[in-house]
Structure 1
Amino acid sequence: MVELLTLPWLLLALFIFLAFTTEATTGFGSIVIALSLGALLFPIPELLPILVPLNIVMTSVLSWRHRHAIHWPTLCRMILPLMVVGTLAGYGLRPWLGDQLLKTAFGLLVLWFSSRELWRLWKGITVKPHGKVWSQFWMLMAGMTHGLFASGGPLLVYALSGLALDKQQFRATLILVWLSLNGLLTLVFLLDGSLLPAAPHIAVMIPVVIAAMLLGEWLHRRVNEARFRQAVFVVLWMTGGILAWPG
């Protein structure tokens, strides 16, 4: 437990606080941000069994509190069937990829997503809805990236672009998606033996997640979400570039 007081773990606690505050505010971003920053310090396979169960702590509470806003037809008919299949496929691909390739591929994903969102925000581009087949394809790909990195948010947000959900529905529906898929991944981590060694780190980080959730709930009601997302995407863009850089 002494290692938890070292600088890398203290920095990871800070990254988790920032990342989970973002998801509590917007509905996505906890693992993609924490993993982006944490991968500068630790291997991705070491981080996932810590971050995924921590996400369940927050999303279970938020899903219950905001259950009235969940858009069940979108969740059950569109998102979950394709993303569950994709998540299992992505997890199956992980052993075939080395740590460096995982890190580079994840960096490129983050770089693409953050660049796209910053360009859209800067130009004031209105998001147009995708066709049904194209949306389904990106939902499947979102599931695969979730199985690989527990970070299906970027591609799922892209797949849902233009969908007629208000701010509360969008946030509540996404949070339940992450609760469902991360529950599945946590079971897989338990079965493959990677969850129990991570348990001490999870326990220590739970108070950090609770503090982040409370702050995110407060920010969701009070801050300009567009400005907040812009700041997050700038951080993600810089981090994605570092991760994607070979070496």
Structure 2
Amino acid sequence: MIDPWLWLGACIFLAYTLEAMTGFGSVVIALSLGALLLPIPTVLPVLVSLNVCMSGFLAWKLRAAVERRLLSRAILPLMLTGTLLGLALAPWLDDLVLKRGFGLLILGFALRELLHLSQGRPSVPPPDWLTRLKIGAAGLSHGLFASGGPLLVQALAGTRLDKARLRATLVCVWFILNGCLALAFLLRGSLAPALPQIAAYLPLLVIGVLLGEHLHQRIEERHFRIGLHLLLCVTGALLICR
């Protein structure tokens, strides 16, 4: 038998290394894997709080590469609105059906982009209204199950952000949104019981960030795009199978 908290530690190391490398994926991957052995309400405050620590550090370090105009005028207003709506709707919606539908959507988008990349065809930038719709839907998903990353990446992948600006902008989004979620957990009383686990996993977070930074610097732009959409396929499949 695997100790569930050791298993969660391994999931955290993997997921937060990937987020340091790509700018997203830590919560949805660690939550999907960790939920195999631990209840989601127990795991979520730990993962969100760790993400606040990591994304805050990376947001400060990468602040020069942040696409501030896009962040302030499009991403944050739509993501915050969607997140608040998701938090309000969460008690009334079927969680399992939503997760699987969301997973199918992400998997479909990612497979389409991988097909374009494999054929050497550049992705056609979507119209602004579709990008904004995806960003709002990403906020809704984040409010429902702290997993807005895959859909937000899909929205931003159609823009002309290079890998450095994409990652920097994403970690700023997660720092702000997950800071709000952590505050909500604190007010609900679910954050305080998670503090010992958060402290225990912080060293894994540090090692994961260092490793992810190392890998990010050594990956070519095309390989980064392929890896990003493969990661989307994995997260979509995890959401479908959860």
TM-score band w.r.t. shorter chain: 0.7 to 0.9
Mapped pair 1:54 → 2:50: yes
Query: Following superposition, which runs of at least 4 residues in structure 1 exceed 3 angstroms of deviation?
Result: 97-125, 223-243
- Tell me what 1:69 maps to: 65
Unmatched segments (≥5 aa) in structure 1: none
Mapped pair 1:158 → 2:154: yes
Partner Cα separation in structure 2 for residue 123 and residue 41 of structure 1: 40
Mapped pair 1:79 → 2:79: no
Mapped pair 1:146 → 2:142: yes
Answer whether contact 2:58 2:171 (CA < 8 A) is retained. Answer: yes
Answer whether contact 1:43 1:99 (CA < 8 A) is retained. Answer: no
Partner Cα separation in structure 2 for residue 46 and residue 120 of structure 1: 40
Q: Which amino acid aligns with 2:48?
A: V
Q: Which amino acid aligns with 2:166?
A: F
Which TM-score applies when normalising by structure 1? 0.86
- Tell me what 1:214 maps to: 210
Partner Cα separation in structure 2 for residue 43 and residue 116 of structure 1: 33
Residues 35-44 or 106-115, more deviating: 106-115
Percent identical pairs in the alignment equals 52
Question: Which residue of the other structure, out of 30, 35, 40, is the alignment partner of 2:36?
Answer: 40
Residues 39-48 or 222-231, more deviating: 222-231
Partner Cα separation in structure 1 for residue 69 and residue 233 of structure 2: 33
Unmatched segments (≥5 aa) in structure 2: none
Residues 8, 235 of structure 1: alpha-carbon distance in 2 compared, 3 angstrom cutoff: farther
Partner Cα separation in structure 1 for residue 205 and residue 67 of structure 2: 25
Residue 36 of structure 2 aligns to a residue in which SS? coil
Residues 50, 125 of structure 1: alpha-carbon distance in 2 compared, 3 angstrom cutoff: farther
Residues 130, 228 of structure 1: alpha-carbon distance in 2 compared, 3 angstrom cutoff: closer
- Tell me what 1:27 maps to: 23
Aligned-residue offset at 1:45: 2.8
The aligned runs of 1:1-247 (5 Å cut-off) are 7-97=3-93, 100-101=96-97, 104-105=100-101, 107-108=103-104, 111-112=107-108, 114-224=110-220, 226-227=222-223, 230=226, 237=233, 240-241=236-237, 243-245=239-241
Residues 123, 153 of structure 1: alpha-carbon distance in 2 compared, 3 angstrom cutoff: farther
